[in-house]
Chains A and B, each alone.
Chain A
Amino acid sequence: MSRPPRRRQRVPLALLLPAGLGLLFLVLPLAGLLVRAPWTTLPRRLAQPGVLTALRLSLETATAATLLCVALGVPLAWLLARVEFPGRRLVRALVTVPLVLPPVVGGVALLLVFGRRGLLGSWLDATFGVSLPFTTAGVVLAEAFVAMPFLVIAVEGALRGADPRYEEAAATLGAGRWTTFTRVTLPLVAPGVAAGAVLCWARALGEFGATITFAGNYPGRTQTMPLAVYLALETDVQAAIVLSLILLTVSVAILAGLRDRWVGVT
């Protein structure tokens, strides 16, 4: 790789100014959290049992939701990228609907389908005795619903960027479509899948609206960190700040770690 000779480039003020403002806009609220944090009582507050429970539930449900999104979203992205079928544009638009839908509306919609009297929920309840709303599985479902578009969009983009002729080469070597997908296509788009999964996980971790609507707010079962923060705000602002700081620290640490490992080097 040749690199152009390094020289000090003049950055136009017209770009530098809004870029700086944008950065400030993103960082200032975080700084506010740090400034107002009750540092002296922090250790005691961290040790409170509810905090760790909510944190663990958040991490577990976000990870489970990401796995669900990968399992369903990668094949969906492949379908959108590789197979010509009527109504593909419509399907692509539908996939991105959760991005624009207010999460609370998403939660209501999930209730209408998976609720005990919902379209699928009543059948699930009658046949298997399974009820999803207000359970930990419901949290995973709500998070996956909101986070899936991030994964599908990232993976579809990666698939469109991957040269389909590698798949032809695999076919001439005797690989069927499934083998080609697992042995050639998937490794080729692995960085895209990883990037999509990280985005998906981050979105799931911060999910609030659909979760509280569909799964409620039961400590230990459905109360994830964002819900705990919301609840704490009503009673004890200091506690809310602590919870937010924890969520922030953990997610930034994990995202930074993953980014260096998967997304940075492509």
Chain B
Amino acid sequence: MTAPPLLDAHLVADRSAFHLDVRLTIGAGEVVALLGPNGAGKTTALRALAGLHPLTAGHLTLGGVDLDRPDRRVWTPPERRPAGVVFQDYLLFPHLSALDNVAFGPRRRGADRRAARARAQGWLDRVGLGGQARHKPRQLSGGQAQRVALARALAVEPTLLLLDEPLAALDARTRLDTRAELQRHLGAHPGATLLVTHDPLDALVLADRLVIVEQGRVVQEGDAATVTARPRTDYVARLVGLNLHRGHADGHAVTVGGLTLTTADTVRGEAFVAFPPAAVALHPARPDGSPRNVWPATVTGVQRHGDNLRVQLSGPVDVAADVTPAAAAHLGLRPGQPVWAAVKAAETRAYPA
């Protein structure tokens, strides 16, 4: 991308003992997901962007205009930022109808009552709720309230659209429909969009790019394919369902703990090695033949995982293995049992740390 990003932010903020330090750029029309575990600082970052939490350092530039820059004493209050927010529990004003909720923003930004209502009706039609305009928030279902909240945020035509866990409050079925529809609206939004979520599926479906934060810092960012193929932290590895270990590589061999794994990729120096649980085979005794990555391990736990069983193993490295119920029955798996684990070199992926 040659054009400067629409949003260019270095968010440094403090909240009691918590310290946030996140760099974030979003282009026009781009949807970025801020993904991380609970307490990672996602919501603080969103609140800082909206002007609800002041920065202690860094900067926030939107469309070339500094909105928050502590070192130059620049600060723009939330009501003067070209931003729209969809809050986690929507925060629709309970005393106003759906129409007046959506008209609230345009009205505050200078439209007269009639124009604001006309615009609000247009947005309600666009999210498929034209017929519910007169309903109060308590008369709306969760999915409908979510769409009204989205319409309310979009009705101010924000340069920066912020969504805080927009699907978290919905049940599974509604979430599926709403996610598809949200994808359509986010795709049509010409400004920058930041989506805060802890659900990797939301991030993968809705976002062009993922930024993963843990403990107030960015630990990894990139498009979905890169992040899912090459996780860099345990959190990301768990999200995408991979075994991840960090070790020292020397060509085709990566030494992790006391174990040397042979990999198909060539890397030197500090490296990650990742492989899916399905690539781990379990044997009652040391196997002969092809697999070179073989080690003795102890079963620590067995859980259902889809149609298979996920087996947690401890040993020189702790890994998860997926086995079929038939194989599990054959092995007689139970916690404490010694087994041999094997991974084919072709199924591992190694990349520099």
Point out residues on A near B: beta carbons under 8 Å. 163, 165-166, 168-176, 179, 183-184, 187-188, 190
Query: A residues within 8 A CB of B108?
Result: 170, 173-175, 179
4 tightest Cβ-Cβ pairs between the two chains A and B: A174-B108, A173-B105, A171-B78, A169-B91
B79 contacts partner chain A, Cβ-Cβ < 8 Å: yes
Nearest Cβ in chain B — how far from A134, in angstroms? 44
Q: Could you tell me if B95 and A171 are in contact, using CB atoms closer than 8 angstroms?
A: no
Interchain Cβ contacts under 8 Å between A and B, 23 examples: A165-B87, A165-B91, A166-B91, A168-B91, A169-B85, A169-B91, A170-B104, A171-B79, A172-B78, A172-B153, A173-B79, A173-B105, A173-B108, A173-B156, A174-B79, A174-B80, A175-B79, A175-B108, A176-B79, A184-B93, A187-B96, A188-B93, A188-B95
Per-residue A-contact encoding for B270-284, CB less than 8 Å = 1, 0 else:
000000000000000
Q: Could you tell me if A171 and B52 are in contact, using CB atoms closer than 8 angstroms?
A: yes
| Nearest B residue (CB) for A173 | B105
B286 contacts partner chain A, Cβ-Cβ < 8 Å: no
B83 contacts partner chain A, Cβ-Cβ < 8 Å: yes
| Nearest A residue (CB) for B94 | A188
Interface residues of B in 245-264 (CB under 8 A from A): none
Query: A residues within 8 A CB of B156?
Result: 173-174
| Nearest B residue (CB) for A179 | B108
Nearest Cβ in chain B — how far from A222, in angstroms? 40
Number of residue pairs A-B, CB distance < 8 angstroms: 58
Query: A residues within 8 A CB of B105?
Result: 173-174
B77 contacts partner chain A, Cβ-Cβ < 8 Å: yes
Roughly how many angstroms separate A165 CA and B78 CA in the complex, as a whole number?
13
Roughly how many angstroms separate A171 CA and B78 CA in the complex, as a whole number?
6
Roughly how many angstroms separate A67 CA and B258 CA in the complex, as a whole number?
80
Query: Which of the four size classes fits the interface of chain B?
Result: 20 to 34
Since A168-B78, A170-B93, A171-B77 are in contact, a sample of 18 more A-B pairs with Cβ atoms closer than 8 Å, ordered by chain A residue number, is A165-B87, A168-B52, A169-B85, A169-B91, A171-B52, A171-B78, A172-B50, A172-B52, A172-B79, A172-B83, A172-B84, A173-B152, A174-B156, A175-B79, A175-B104, A187-B96, A188-B95, A190-B95
Roughly how many angstroms separate A173 CA and B83 CA in the complex, as a whole number?
8
Roughly how many angstroms separate A179 CA and B95 CA in the complex, as a whole number?
15
Roughly how many angstroms separate A258 CA and B329 CA in the complex, as a whole number?
73
Nearest Cβ in chain A — how far from B11, in angstroms? 17
Partner of A166, one of B78, B84, B93, B152: B93
B109 contacts partner chain A, Cβ-Cβ < 8 Å: yes
B51 contacts partner chain A, Cβ-Cβ < 8 Å: yes
Point out residues on B near A: beta carbons under 8 Å. 50-52, 77-81, 83-85, 87, 91, 93-96, 104-105, 108-109, 152-153, 156
Query: A residues within 8 A CB of B109?
Result: 174
Q: Could you tell me if A173 and B52 are in contact, using CB atoms closer than 8 angstroms?
A: no
Nearest Cβ in chain B — how far from A72, in angstroms? 24
Query: B residues within 8 A CB of A175?
Result: 79, 104, 108
Nearest Cβ in chain A — how far from B147, in angstroms? 16
Nearest Cβ in chain B — how far from A19, in angstroms? 35
Roughly how many angstroms separate A168 CA and B78 CA in the complex, as a whole number?
8
Nearest Cβ in chain A — how far from B159, in angstroms? 13
Nearest Cβ in chain A — how far from B138, in angstroms? 12
Nearest Cβ in chain B — how far from A179, in angstroms? 6
Nearest Cβ in chain A — how far from B40, in angstroms? 20
Query: B residues within 8 A CB of A174?
Result: 79-80, 105, 108-109, 156
Nearest Cβ in chain B — how far from A202, in angstroms? 26
Nearest Cβ in chain B — how far from A163, in angstroms? 8
Query: A residues within 8 A CB of B81?
Result: 172
Nearest Cβ in chain B — how far from A258, in angstroms? 20
| Nearest A residue (CB) for B108 | A174
Nearest Cβ in chain B — how far from A245, in angstroms? 40
Query: B residues within 8 A CB of A190?
Result: 95
Nearest Cβ in chain A — how far from B110, in angstroms? 9
Nearest Cβ in chain A — how far from B194, in angstroms? 13
Nearest Cβ in chain B — how far from A182, in angstroms? 12
| Nearest B residue (CB) for A168 | B52
Query: Which residue, B80, B83, B104, has most C-beta atoms of chain A within 10 A?
Result: B104
Query: B residues within 8 A CB of A168?
Result: 50, 52, 78, 91
Nearest Cβ in chain A — how far from B83, in angstroms? 6
Roughly how many angstroms separate A170 CA and B92 CA in the complex, as a whole number?
10
Q: Could you tell me if B95 and A187 are in contact, using CB atoms closer than 8 angstroms?
A: yes
Q: Could you tell me if A171 and B91 are in contact, using CB atoms closer than 8 angstroms?
A: no
Roughly how many angstroms separate A60 CA and B77 CA in the complex, as a whole number?
44
Query: B residues within 8 A CB of A169?
Result: 85, 87, 91, 93
Roughly how many angstroms separate A169 CA and B94 CA in the complex, as a whole number?
12
Nearest Cβ in chain A — how far from B164, in angstroms? 11
| Nearest B residue (CB) for A176 | B79
Query: B residues within 8 A CB of A163?
Result: 91
Nearest Cβ in chain B — how far from A161, in angstroms? 13
Nearest Cβ in chain A — how far from B101, in angstroms? 9
Roughly how many angstroms separate A188 CA and B95 CA in the complex, as a whole number?
7
Nearest Cβ in chain B — how far from A98, in angstroms? 32
| Nearest B residue (CB) for A167 | B91
Query: B residues within 8 A CB of A171?
Result: 51-52, 77-79
